[in-house]
Every structure is written in C-alpha cells, then in structure tokens.
Amino acid sequence: QVQLVQSGGGLVQAGGSLRLSCVASGRTFSSYTMGWFRQAPGKEREFVAAKSWSGVNPRYQDSVKGRFTISRDNAKNTVYLQMNSLKPEDTAVYYCAAAMVGGTPAASALYNYWGQGTQVTVSS
C-alpha cells in the first residue's frame, strides 16, 4: 500500500512558476513509476508527466514540454513537478500518481495510487 500526500499549488499570474510536491509512504517508492495528471473543470483527467524508477527519459504531454519538469528524489520518497511559464490553460486540479508498471505510461488506468489533488490557478 502506498499513500501519496501532495503539497504546493495555489494562485499565480501567467508567466509565473509553481512547484508541486508529492511525498509517498512505503519503502518501495523507488520501484514505482511516478506521474502527474490534471483535471480542469468540465474536462477529463489528462496526463501531464511521468518518470520511471530509473529516471531515464521522462515523458511529457506536448503542451507542457519545455515548461514543466518532473523530478524525483528516491531518498526522500518525493516526486516534484516544477511548472514554469504558466498559462491560464494550465489551471486545473493536479494529481500525483504511482504505477507499479515499468516505463512512463500516460494512461491513468495504469496508475495504482493517487494523491489527494491540489489546485493550480493561473490568472491572465
């Protein structure tokens, strides 16, 4: 069993930056693929970024490439999402998630555990 507790988020002006954190319980954090998803009002949850246990070749949604960076500190059981050059269309509830599969899946159904979600609001 893994529990994910998120922090960060909030309100920022367009062009600004935020960092989200997600701390996992359990001793096998390093073996999980970690991902970030988001859900805007009236829209389905969508993939944002993922990083496997090895950290090689993270995967990003096209709309965030070059602006967002996913990183993980296995010693601290923590995954981060650094968000720069934020746009109003990035406004959503962001979720971290853990998957027991390899690689960097974009399908939410492959993720086994989810954080509680945190609101990110970008004003224009």
Per residue in 14-49, pLDDT (tens digit) is 999 999 999 999 768 788 999 999 999 999 999 999
Q: Note the pLDDT of residue 30.
A: 80
- The predicted model gives 104-123 an average pLDDT of 96
**HSE on the CB side for 87, CA within 13 Å?**
8
Residue in 113, 117, 124, 93 with CA at minimum distance from that of residue 31? 113
Q: Note the pLDDT of residue 115.
A: 97
Per residue in 53-104, pLDDT (tens digit) is 887 889 999 999 999 999 999 889 999 999 999 999 999 999 999 999 888 9
